[in-house]
Amino acid sequence: MARYLDVHPENPQQRLIDQVVDQLRDDALIAYPTDSGYALGCQLGNRDGRDRILRIRELDDKHHFTLMCRDFAQLGQFVHVNNTAFRAIKAATPGPYTFILPATGEVPRRLMHAKKKTVGVRIPTFPLVQALLDTLGEPLLTSTLILPGETEARTQGWEIKEELDHQVDLVVEAGEVPAEPTTVVDWSGDAPEVMRVGAGDPARFE
């Protein structure tokens, strides 16, 4: 049965953030709110957590996982960013964008796209997630919580608790969150390609 923690979205209580991070360091899989709906998350080294995300969402190894990063400096440790991409991505972050970029050696191979050796990265604006990342001290392996047969991310923690009670270890409640997804930009080649239009203005990458 999953634990359930009610955390303030704008002014998250540090003692509760500490509890979430303790769970993550103990190889927990969590469902947590972001500025684009709920997501599933675990530590980068949590092999079982990664496999559980794939099972819950019924995905294969071609799925692009995302590393939720605290800031641009941390993002730069895990992906290769060329000079042109550097300026554009830095100007757009933090914000509602996910970027697909070539992974560095810091990213475990099982988290990369099987053929392209790429990974998604994003820097959120949501204070609760920033507090989690600041306390954890490393990116959070994450995937939007869109269940099989659905097209949008879940937005309410209590619903997730009811449905995934025995599939995740912790649900973080923070009231209803927006469901609009991030705009996804693939910059693994020479020029950016908008793969999904979401909350972020795609015009700056077209």
Q: Where are the beta strands (DSSP E) in 30-139?
A: 30-34, 37-42, 66-68, 97-102, 118-122
Which band of pLDDT confidence, cut at 50, 70 and 90, is reported for residue 34?
very high
Per residue in 47-103, pLDDT (tens digit) is 999 999 999 999 987 788 999 999 999 999 999 999 889 999 999 999 999 999 999
State residue 179's pLDDT score: 83
Torsion angle, CA of 153/35/41/73, rounded to 10 degrees? 140
State residue 183's pLDDT score: 95
% of the chain beyond a pLDDT of 70: 100
For residue 10, what are its two tokens? 């704008």
Average pLDDT, the chain: 94
* Phi and psi at residue 33, to the nearest 5°: -85, 140
| C-alpha–C-alpha distance, residues 3 and 23, integer Å | 10
154, pLDDT greater than 80: yes
CA angle 128, 130, 131 (to 5 degrees): 65
| C-alpha–C-alpha distance, residues 146 and 154, integer Å | 7
The domains of the chain, with CATH numbers, are 3-205 (3.90.870.10)
Per residue in 108-128, pLDDT (tens digit) is 998 988 888 999 999 999 999
Query: What's the count of helices (H) and strands (E) in the chain, helices before strands?
Result: 6, 10
Beta bridge partners of 196: 184
Which band of pLDDT confidence, cut at 50, 70 and 90, is reported for residue 171?
very high
